[in-house]
Structures are given as C-alpha cells and as structure tokens.
Amino acid sequence: MHILIATDAWLPQVNGVVRSLQNTAREAATLGARIDFLTPADFRTVPMPTYPEIRLALATPGRVRRAMDEVGAGYVHIATEGPIGIMTRRACLARGQSFTTSYHTRFPEYLAARAPVPEVLSYAWLRRFHNAGAGIMVSTPTLEAELHGRGFRNIMRWSRGVDSELFHPRPEAEMDALVATLPRPIFLSVGRVAVEKNISAFLDLDLPGSKVVVGEGPARAELQARHPEVHFLGLREGDALARIYAAADVFVFPSLTDTFGIVLLEALASGLPVAAFPVTGPKDVIGEADVRVGVLNEDLRQAALAALAIDRETARAYALRYSWRACTEQFLHNIELAHARAVPAKAG
C-alpha cells in the first residue's frame, strides 16, 4: 500500500495533527505500507494572518498535480482543509480519483474565536469539502455523532496513540529539575498558547501550589504578563517534555474545541490524572474509561482538586491501551475500505 497524505500542518509546527501523521507514517512502514507527504515544505509559504507561527502554502493546481504524479501513490488522504488540502481535493476530483479526509480541527470554532464568521457557514463549507471524499476519519464517537448530525457522510473512526516508552512515570532524579522543585501540588497544562485553547480558564483558577504551562503561541506574551505567578516554560519536546509531565501532579486540559487531545494520553502515560471540561475529547478519552483516571466537571477548579486523589498507576495502565500501532492499523484499514467502496468522484 502506497499512500500520499496531503497536509497543511507540518514541521516546524508542534501539534496533535503533526504528531499523529508522523507516528502513523513510522508505524505504517513496519506494517509494509509506504506513506509520502505533500506539505508546506514543498511550496513557497506566507505567514498566516493573526498567527504568523503557521505558514500557509502557496499551492497551485499544477504543482499539486505534478507532485501527485511524481509520488505515484495508489491512495490519497487529505489531512487538512488548508491550501494544500483544497488543491489536492480539486486535483482528485478533476481526475476522478477517490480520496479520504480526516477531521482533526474544529475550524469553525477556531475561526469564530478570531473573526466574526458564523459557524453555520464554516460548517457548510466543511461539509461540502469532506463529503466529496470516500470517507472522513474522526477520532472519537462524540465527534462522529456531532458531524453525522451536521450532515457529514461516510464517517470512519481513527483513534490516536501514545509513545508509552517516552512518556512514563520517573523517579525524582529523572524529572525536570525546575518543575520538580516547585511548591506542590503542581498543575500542568501543555498545548498551543492561543485563544482557541481556552488557556485562560486554567490560568484564572484559584489553586494551591504551582501552575506550569508548556507551549508557545500568539497569546503567550499577554498571558505571561497577566499571570506572573505562572511558570511559562515555552516549547518542549521529546524527553524534555516527558520529564515535565513526570514531575507534575495533575494535568489540566482547559480546551473546549479539541477533537481528541493527544496530550491527554501523554499525561496519563506519565501517571498524571486529568482535569478537564466534559467536552469532545476528554469525554471520550476520560469520561468513557472503565477506571477513574480523571475528573470532568464544568467547574474546572473542582475537577483539578479532585484529580489529586486519583492513583497514578491506574492512569498509566489505562494509557497503555492506546498505541500508535493500533492507530495505524485502523488508518490503513479505513483507507482500503473507503477505496473499495468508492464510486468515481464528481466535481463539487
């Protein structure tokens, strides 16, 4: 199996989409499948308005068609709805080639948080974008039900995984030296520091001990100035990030718009119980668990304090149920299934 994944989210971005695609490609190779990528690295780019850390590709139909010809993949998967995704979709429709898509990001909610664009219009555009494909992959049952109710068709489940060898409980000597010495309890949040991540809901909580934020984003300077008591550590990856997880006591996930939240699994694998709002992502990862690994509550402070009583070993054991290999097997199965049932694509 040879798959071309078209994605507007790629390195040097650090987010769940990029991590999911990287891990899926790595595991696919061990399963005998090959994945190539069409990314912003293949085009000239310009900074995204209001969010210059993200670069938008100046993709053209001709360049995308040539790239598809050069790769020669038998399957096409469109991971994002940006310029590269749009041009790849157009090329597939023009050729009558089936393709699959995935719904990683609540684009309507993100856009509405930054500009006066009604969500109903954004969802109408997304519905047209995704329904042209042979299948749309989503990460949770809650998101599947929501999109089905909005008229999205051919929805397929594609869960997520965690690197449990990297993210695991550690003795104090292997924890992040700074975080481990902060007054306890230590409440940690990891993610993009941006308005759509609702990070202020965490920063404004009246909690004992210390708050730590890992991540970069356009809102960091303002929020750091407003909350000098919070420890903003900036971007951390790999072992450096894992050491921070291991040093904390509770992972607080304030987002209301994430479709899954890979950081939830990273925290749990590190032995961290989770506190979150009862929304898509946490409801599926935490709320459906048959053991208590986190607390969901509309009152995030109550959730954070209650999570302190949760056993760390239980959190770790639950996270081990999620693997990138199982995630990749699910992805490859979806590709084959969608391709087999596809009818000739029609322009739209």
Q: What is the pLDDT of residue 287?
A: 84
Distance CA 162, CA 323 (A): 6
Distance CA 138, CA 144 (A): 6
Burial environment of residue 298 by CB neighbours within 10 A (0 to 12, 13 to 18, 19 or more): exposed
Least confident of 67-81, 112-126, 261-275, 304-318: 112-126
User: Of all helices (H) and strands (E), which one includes residue 336?
Assistant: helix 324-341
- Segment 15-36 mean pLDDT: 96
Beta bridge mates, 294: 274
Q: Are strands 274-276 and 250-253 parallel, antiparallel or unpaired?
A: parallel
DSSP 47: E
Band the pLDDT of 113: cuts 50, 70, 90. Answer: low
Q: What is the pLDDT of residue 109?
A: 78
Check pLDDT > 50 for residue 348. no
DSSP 104: -
Distance CA 190, CA 176 (A): 15
Least confident of 53-57, 98-102, 324-328: 53-57
Does 96 or 288 have the greater pLDDT score? Answer: 96
Residues in the chain: 348
- Segment 45-67 mean pLDDT: 88
Band the pLDDT of 52: cuts 50, 70, 90. Answer: confident
User: Of all helices (H) and strands (E), which one includes residue 317?
Assistant: helix 312-319
Residue tagged 């068709």 (tokens)? 153
Q: What is the pLDDT of residues 313-335, one digit of tens each?
A: 999 999 999 999 999 999 999 99
> Whole-model pTM?
0.90
Question: What would the two tokens of residue 214 be?
Answer: 């890992």
Q: What is the pLDDT of residues 175-187, one digit of tens each?
A: 999 999 999 999 9
Question: What would the two tokens of residue 64 be?
Answer: 């995308």
Q: Which of 291, 249, 298, 255 minimizes the C-alpha distance to 274?
A: 249
Check pLDDT > 90 for residue 14. no
Q: What is the pLDDT of residues 193-248, one digit of tens each?
A: 998 899 999 999 999 999 999 999 999 999 999 999 999 999 999 999 999 999 99
Q: How many other CB atoms are there within 10 angstroms of residue 304's CB atom? A: 27
Q: How many other CB atoms are there within 10 angstroms of residue 78's CB atom? A: 28
The pLDDT mean for the chain works out to 93
Question: What would the two tokens of residue 274 be?
Answer: 């989770």
